Chain A
Amino acid sequence: MSRQLAIIVTLVAGVLMVVSGFIKPTQGWGEDAAEWFNILAAMAFVLGAANLAKVHLSKISSRDAGWGFSAVTLLAFAVTLAVGLFKVGVNPMPAFPDVPMSGGKDAEGSAFWWVYTYVLSSITATMFSLLAFYVASAAFRAFRAKNTEATLLLVAAFIVLLGRTFAGVVLTGWIPADSDWAFLRFENLSTTIFEVFASAGNRAIIIGIALGVAATSLKIILGIDRSYMGSGD
């Protein structure tokens, strides 16, 4: 029963979003549906947070391997949740000084802001920066000119790497910038690769993806693709 209802909900929601873009009287309905979608997206954050707590609590209670780190996760989760929910260290809005919780949750100096600035920012930024090292290692081990295609890839990468820094200027700076051969300067070759070849290649990919997304969306709206409901369909 709920699966049949789900198919109807998908159909109605999908068709509404499509027609609201073209038929003026349905525009308001489309906006409302999108607004409900936005509220559900925020609910999904809460669901994600609750699910994380549930998973790690079960890990701790069953003393699974690495349960100590689950405890760290839960502690970090609980502290962040508490300081954010109760707006610890947040002052009221100057326009409403009689409402203590009227200030912004992440006002400078608050506990939630502290967690964001010194914990969340530093860890996420560092984690992303680790990839600089792995990409270097991969370039040494796997970036080999084995055939024509691989050589093209390698040469393009070379030109972009040199042309996007001062190295390109130093290496090909002897070619006069106003001569007919100026396009051979690394910085110009890099621009050409970016604006012509990468643009064309990515445009082909974009058009291909657009066709795929359009087909998949139609299949979902019409109830042909029901994979989002889980196994069995």
Chain B
Amino acid sequence: MPNLSGMHLVAAFIALLLIGLLLVPVAQVMIVAFQNPATGAATLNNFVDFFRSALFRESFWNSFYVSVVSVVVATAIALPLAYITTRFHFAGSALIQSLGFIPLIMPPFVGAVAMQLIFGRNGTVNLLLREHLGFDLPFMEGLNGVILVQSIHYFPFILINLSASLRNIDRSMEEAAQNLGSHGMRLFRRIVFPLAMPGYIAGAALVFIKVFDDLGTPLLLDVNNMLAPQAYLRISSIGISDPMGYVISVILVVFSVLSLWISFLFMRGRDYATVQKGGGGMARRELGPAEKVLAYAVVIFILLLVLTPHVGLMLLSFGTIWSFAPLPDGYTLQNYVAMWEGSRIFIMNTLLYAGIAATADVIPGVAIAYIVLRTRIFGRHGLDYLATAALAVPGVVLGIGYLRTFHSLDVPFVGKPLASWWVVIVLALTIRRLPYALRACMAALQQVSLALEEAAESLGATRRRTIHKIVVPLMKGGLLAGFITSFATAAVELSATIMLVGSSRDAPLSYGIYLFMQTPSGRGAGAALGMVAVVLVAIGTVITQFVIERDKKTRASGDQR
């Protein structure tokens, strides 16, 4: 079949890209884990050493504990928001969905700074509590702080995927259940939630892996006894030749791939596709007055909680001096002036890099999702695992790998090595954000019924035409979600870019904030730049929501009131 060979070509091309941009650079770094540091001979002794060390065992359990609890807390934040906004007629659903997405776009270290100011040991909340009630709460002490910051930062992964899934649930399923007498919690537990499972699992797996691998947040909160910080600290302090950092990297990769595999096992053998796509999601219903009050209370409480970092950042950006006080001493616009003078270039670079990276993520994302779910090409799951494994590669390791691999690779017409050309930052961002786009594409495609494609093909459409006219349009919501997720998180990526920025003229926004935040007088200006990032991506998110809603309205037969 000629079409099939076309798919083969695409698969081979993507595989080559992934091998060249992910496997080879990472292998260059990770091979060290299996080498005797003295002789260079192959050995497994480094792993034995790892598990003999009490510190590393403790780090491992801490990482695991923090990841699991973060998933639970993130679910507790995301589930009510997703359910209330998709299930009921609720004013401002689109706004809530957009606001709920905003935490993801704040660089974790900026979020941690703002959270310390609000929830820290001597932050606003604790200073007020102590003054008026005589006690304080250890929100940010040790692992608590990591869990809080991570849950607030990453819950949008669950929210966005779960909302997309809930919207795609076929109304007829729900109606069938209601006809058979199911309602209330039972309906939710037995019908709605299981049907939304692909989105939820996709989101929860992402949260788990991100938290497990995340470096910036624990480091900024000065929590060292977790795996990713240990890897980073070993590499950065003891030296590039120390094998233990690489051993931890290998363990991070293996563990992440394992947890993804478990989530695949969990999903296997279940068919989540819904035949009818015209229904526009679940039937929405009106809330009773009491229910309305409750729903608003829940939503407002959650939004207040998740927007705390932004409130803190805003106060910081407008404040003069903020030291051991519930609020800044005074307010000024000076920070924005200082920011604007020195950072336009960062903003432009960010738009450019993240835009290219997100576009370059969605296209292979769709291709891989289609290859995995719709073809029988040999090694298709390998492709998926490979792309997803990028999640498990600490940014610093990828950065070092790129420096090593591409240093001697001169780019024609540019006249310098790829490693110091700005495109290398885009490549790193693309690879690091590909898994996000891929998960979103997979979830979107999983919900497109095969029957629709078969119908198209039996009517004589070629495969390419089927993809073009049937599959991709039906996936549009998921694709946009994937694009925005990739774009927004790429815009605030720091760990890989910090290794790869070859000149401050090529630096993206997050690097600019990092630079500002390294000086006492630059905190306000850094916060102002952070606000610019928040506003930029917020605008992008609102537009996306608008597009999704309009798209839905044109396709849907309208709400049944």
Is this pair of chains taken from one and the same complex? no
- A contact residues vs B (CB 8 Å cutoff): none
